[in-house]
Amino acid sequence: MKGILYIVSTPIGNLEDITARALRILGEVDLIAAEDTRRSLKLLNHYRISKPMISYWREKEKGRSEEIMKRLNAGQSVALISDAGTPGISDPGSVLIRKAVEENIRIIPIPGPSAFLAALSVSGLPTDEFTFIGFLPSKKTRRQGVLQELSLEQKTLIFYEAPHRVLEVLMEMEVLFPERNAVLIKEITKIHEEVLRGTISGIRMQLQQSTIAGEYVLIIEGRKPERAFTIADVIPEISHLMKKGFGRKEAAKKIAEAYGLSKKELYDKSLDESLDEIP
CATH number at residue 42: 3.40.1010.10
Of the residues 75, 93, 113, the one at which a domain ends: 113
31-34 vs 78-81, strand pairing mode: parallel
The answer to whether residue 225 is domain-embedded is no
Same domain, 100 and 123: no
Of the residues 113, 138, 153, the one at which a domain ends: 113
CATH number at residue 180: 3.30.950.10
Residue 241, domain extent? 231-277
Same domain, 108 and 150: no
CA separation (Å) from 278 to 234, 241, 274? 20, 20, 7
Would you state the pLDDT for residue 198? 95
Could you read off the pLDDT tens digit of each residue along the chain, which spans 279 residues? 899 999 999 999 999 999 999 999 999 999 999 999 999 999 999 999 999 999 987 677 888 899 999 999 999 999 999 999 999 888 888 999 999 999 999 999 999 999 999 999 999 999 999 999 999 999 999 999 999 999 989 999 999 999 999 999 999 999 999 889 999 999 999 999 999 999 999 999 999 988 888 899 999 999 876 556 788 888 888 888 888 888 999 888 888 887 778 888 888 888 877 644 433
**Pairwise CA distance, residues 19 & 91, whole Å:** 20
The answer to whether residue 226 is domain-embedded is no
Same domain, 166 and 238: no
Q: Kindly report the pTM of this predicted structure.
A: 0.77
Same domain, 64 and 130: no
Same domain, 156 and 86: no
Would you state the pLDDT for residue 75? 97
Same domain, 140 and 212: yes
Same domain, 70 and 34: yes
Same domain, 21 and 81: yes
Of the residues 80, 113, 146, the one at which a domain ends: 113
Same domain, 106 and 120: no
**Pairwise CA distance, residues 111 & 8, whole Å:** 6
The answer to whether residue 125 is domain-embedded is yes
Number of domains in the chain: 3
